[in-house]
């Protein structure tokens, strides 16, 4: 067979994104992808129309999500996960080889991945020592179309000063979109910028049902934006963005009972997280626990390698983050009480 070499040169140079699933691992306790640990209850699906393309599904889902988020249905676009929202923003707003985005590392990896695929420049304005936004450095950048702010931030687990975000929004008004990734906002609803949607045309929010809603396997996410941005996003969105089974499950998961259950589980996880952090606080070998408002915690160890090996040995799969500032850290998703007790046991044996 003849070898082919036809791809875009900048694509040729890329490495595939290493998701938690791709990295894989062996174990019984999965604390590496910030999923909820609670199994879902059975649901019934009406499949009678499945010989037709889906249509109404997304409309109903978008209306239900709008009601949940306190917005109008025309401000909501339902997509294949928050990741698709990030990708579509890059494609719609960044001209290949010309425009750039700002990220503040350490942060979620997909902003960089989608920018690389689009051949958009990535300007990293690292977080300050206490993991806050470096506002003066962000405002000093040029040629920017999108500013990605993950709030609360993955993998550090903290949220950013609201005034800082508002300063950035004001500065970039008319110049760049400020995209707030609120993937974990259900764990700290007061931190949401959704109430500012009415004030800033350049504010875009990204949300997901993969985390607090416990539906990672269904992979439904949302882009929330005002009409000018939404008009552009509709041009680049796929004609059938959600398969109907996903739309039906998303819709059922947004009714009153389901959102009540979601909030209850969010509270449970927050309590387990606080006990976990307390247990870590004065443990030998732990040098820092970053205060978290999410369902995961970033922990620094004196001997990260030995800690990692001990966890693997015990069947605990957590996450190491490939970032120079985090070489001594492990990110733990908060699992069940039993799972976190097991982690504590492993760490205690080490210390």
Ligand X SMILES: *Cc1c(COP(=O)(O)O)cnc(C)c1O
**Does residue number 219 form part of the binding site for ligand X (CB under 6 A)?**
yes
Residue numbers 84-123 binding ligand X by CB under 6 A: 108
* Binding region for ligand X (CB under 6 A) out of 113-121, 190-198, 205-213, 266-274: 205-213
**Does residue number 31 form part of the binding site for ligand X (CB under 6 A)?**
no
Whichever of 202 and 208 has its CB closer to ligand X, that residue is 208
User: What is the distance between the alpha carbons of residues 223 and 83, in angstroms, rounded to a whole number?
Assistant: 10
Whichever of 86 and 176 has its CB closer to ligand X, that residue is 86
Interface characters, 144-173, with ligand X (x: CB under 6 A): ------x---x-------------------
The DSSP string of 159-171 is ---HHHHHHHHHH
* Binding region for ligand X (CB under 6 A) out of 203-211, 280-288, 315-323, 331-339: 203-211
> Which residues, listed in sequence order, are joined to residue 43 by a DSSP beta bridge?
none
**Strands of the chain, DSSP E:** 29-30, 76-79, 100-103, 121-124, 144-150, 177-181, 203-208, 221-224, 286-289, 296-301, 316-317, 329-333
CB of 19 to ligand X, least distance (A): 9
Whichever of 304 and 333 has its CB closer to ligand X, that residue is 333
User: If residue 61 lies in a helix (H) or strand (E), which one and from where to where?
Assistant: helix 56-69
Whichever of 118 and 154 has its CB closer to ligand X, that residue is 154
Whichever of 216 and 280 has its CB closer to ligand X, that residue is 216
Whichever of 54 and 152 has its CB closer to ligand X, that residue is 152
User: What is the distance between the alpha carbons of residues 157 and 127, in angstroms, rounded to a whole number?
Assistant: 13
**Does residue number 186 form part of the binding site for ligand X (CB under 6 A)?**
no
**Does residue number 210 form part of the binding site for ligand X (CB under 6 A)?**
yes
CB of 150 to ligand X, least distance (A): 5
Q: Which pair of structure tokens corresponds to residue 141?
A: 């950048």
**Does residue number 37 form part of the binding site for ligand X (CB under 6 A)?**
no
CB of 249 to ligand X, least distance (A): 14
Q: What is the dihedral of CA 314, 320, 324, 325, to 10 degrees?
A: -80
* Binding region for ligand X (CB under 6 A) out of 194-202, 214-222, 248-256, 301-309: 214-222
219: left (phi over 0), alpha (psi -120 to 50) or beta: left
Q: How many CB atoms lie within 10 A of CB 160?
A: 22
Contact call for residues 209 and 84 (beta carbons, < 8 A): no
The DSSP string of 64-100 is HHHHHHTS-GGGEEEESHHHHHHHHHHHHH--TTT-E
* Binding region for ligand X (CB under 6 A) out of 23-31, 208-216, 230-238, 336-344: 208-216
**Which residues contribute to the site for ligand X (CB under 6 A)?**
34, 81-83, 108, 150, 154, 181, 183, 208, 210-211, 216, 219, 221
């Amino acid at each position: 067979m003849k070898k082919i070499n036809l791809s875009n040169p900048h694509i040729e140079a890329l490495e595939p994104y290493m998701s938690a699933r791709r990295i894989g691992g062996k174990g019984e306790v999965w604390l590496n992808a910030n999923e909820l640990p609670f199994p879902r209850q059975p649901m019934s699906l009406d499949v009678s129309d499945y010989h037709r393309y889906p249509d109404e599904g997304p409309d109903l889902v978008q209306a239900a999500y709008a009601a949940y988020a306190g917005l109008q249905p025309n401000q909501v676009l339902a997509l294949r996960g928050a990741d698709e929202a990030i990708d579509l923003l890059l494609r719609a707003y960044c001209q290949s080889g010309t425009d750039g985005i700002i990220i503040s590392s350490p942060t979620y990896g997909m902003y960089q991945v989608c920018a690389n695929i689009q051949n958009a420049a990535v300007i990293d304005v690292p977080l300050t020592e206490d993991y806050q936004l470096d506002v003066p450095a962000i405002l000093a950048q040029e040629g920017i179309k999108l500013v990605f702010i993950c709030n609360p931030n993955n993998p550090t687990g903290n949220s950013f000063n609201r005034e800082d975000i508002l300063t950035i929004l004001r500065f970039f008004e008319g110049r760049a979109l400020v995209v707030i990734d609120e993937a974990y906002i259900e764990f700290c609803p007061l931190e949401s910028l959704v109430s500012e949607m009415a004030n800033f045309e350049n504010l875009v929010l990204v949300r997901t049902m993969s985390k607090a809603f416990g539906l990672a396997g269904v992979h439904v996410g949302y882009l929330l934006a005002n009409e000018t941005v939404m008009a552009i996003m509709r041009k680049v969105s796929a004609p059938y963005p959600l398969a109907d089974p996903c739309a039906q499950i998303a819709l059922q998961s947004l009714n009153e009972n389901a959102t009540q259950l979601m909030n209850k589980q969010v509270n449970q996880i927050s309590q387990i997280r606080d006990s976990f952090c307390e247990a870590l606080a004065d443990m030998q070998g732990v040098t820092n626990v970053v205060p978290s408002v999410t369902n995961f915690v970033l922990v620094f160890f004196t001997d990260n390698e030995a800690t990692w090996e001990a966890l693997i040995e015990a069947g605990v799969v957590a996450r190491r983050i490939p970032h120079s500032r985090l070489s001594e850290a492990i990110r733990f998703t908060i699992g069940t009480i039993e799972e976190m007790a097991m982690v504590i046991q492993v760490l205690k044996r080490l210390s």
